Amino acid sequence: MEDLQVKLGYTFKDIQLLIKALTHSSHANERAVGAGDNEQLEFLGDSVLGFLVSDFLFRSHPRLTEGELSKLKGFFVSSANLV
């Protein structure tokens, strides 16, 4: 993890959280990794992304209806569009 932090130019305060963020569930299940896997963090990240996109769309398109805003949000947060 030290090499990663050097390459990123950032020192993480909680190394266990970094390990969790980088651990896929298949690896955690096979290896019984103590830190767990990244699925809870993925859930949290999806929620934060949804909130930020909603806030941006709400502020930048005040005349759109709730339905129109929802469609736009769905497009922007869709897994297919997050590349």
Give the model's pLDDT for residue 24. Answer: 83
What's the chain look like in SS3? CHHHHHHHCCCCCCHHHHHHHCCCHHHHHHHCCCCCCCHHHHHHHHHHHHHHHHHHHHHHCCCCCHHHHHHHHHHHHCHHHCC
* Domains of the chain by residue range: 2-31, 43-81
Give the model's pLDDT for residue 8. Answer: 93
CA distances 82 to 18, 31, 49, 51, 76, Å, are: 22, 29, 11, 15, 8
pTM equals 0.70
pLDDT tens string 10-32: 999 999 888 888 888 776 556 65
pLDDT tens string 35-80: 678 888 999 999 999 999 999 999 999 999 999 999 999 999 987 7
